[in-house]
Amino acid sequence: MRKLYRHPLSGHSHRAELFLSILGLDFEPVEVDLLSGAQRRQAFLALNPFGQVPVLDDEGTIVSDSNAILVYLATRYGAEWLAKDAEGAAAVERWLSVAAGPLAAGPAAARLVKVFGAKLDHPALLERSRALLTVMDAHLAERDWLASERATIADLAGYSYIAHAPEGGVDLAPYPNVRGWLRRIEALPGFVGMQKSPVAA
C-alpha cells in the first residue's frame, strides 16, 4: 500500500496529499508528530536524512521533498500535469523554485511564526509575502494558471501556503487575481483542502 508520511498542518505535506487525491491514487497517511521530534528519530531519518515531511513510499520507491514528489507523481501517473515543450517545462520549474524560495521564505515562514511559534522577524516576513503576492497577482492578471494554459504541478506547489497565508497574518484581500487562482484550484476534481490551524492568526 502506498504511504505518505506527513503532518496535517504542513503545507509541504498538503502539496503531495492534494496531488495524490487529484490523481485518484489511494494512499495511507502516516502522521509524523513534528512537535515531539518524530522527524529526528532514526526510523524517519532512514526515509529522509534531512528529517523533513513529506515522504512518499510508493510501494517501495521512496521519494522525499514535496516538489520532488510532485514531479515523481506527474512523471509516473499524470504527465498532463507537466509541460512537454522546453518553454513550458522551464515555466513549471521556475514556479517550483518560487515555491521553494520566496514562498517558503515569505508566507510559509510567516505562518510558522503564528502557528508554530517560530522565532523569526514577522514584520520582515510580511514584507516578503507582500512582494511575492504583488508579483503573482500581476502575473495572473491575464492568465488562469501560473505556468501554462492549464493547471500544472506549479499551481499545486504554490497553493497550500498561499491559501493558508492568512494564518500567518498575511492579508490576501489586495490580490484579487491570486484569490481567483486559489478558487480555480479548489474547483479541480479531486481537490482536498488542508486542515486549518486552530491557532488564530
The pTM for the full model equals 0.94
Instruction: Set out the domains of the chain in order of their start, with CATH numbers.
Output: 3-79 (3.40.30.10), 82-186 (1.20.1050.10)
Tell me the percentage of the chain whose pLDDT exceeds 90: 88
DSSP 60: T
Residues in contact with 46: Cβ distance below 8 Å, sequence separation at least 6, in sequence order: none
Is residue 27 within 8 Å of residue 20, measured between CB atoms? yes
Contact by Cβ (8 Å): 115, 168: yes
Cβ atoms of 88 and 74 within 8 Å: the answer is no
C-beta contacts of 115-118 below 8 A and 24+ residues apart: 115/9, 115/167, 115/168, 115/197, 115/199, 116/9
90 exposure class (CB count in 10 Å sphere: 0-12, 13-18, 19+)? exposed
Q: Summarize pLDDT for 143-181 with one digit per residue, the tens.
A: 999 999 999 999 999 999 999 999 999 999 999 999 999
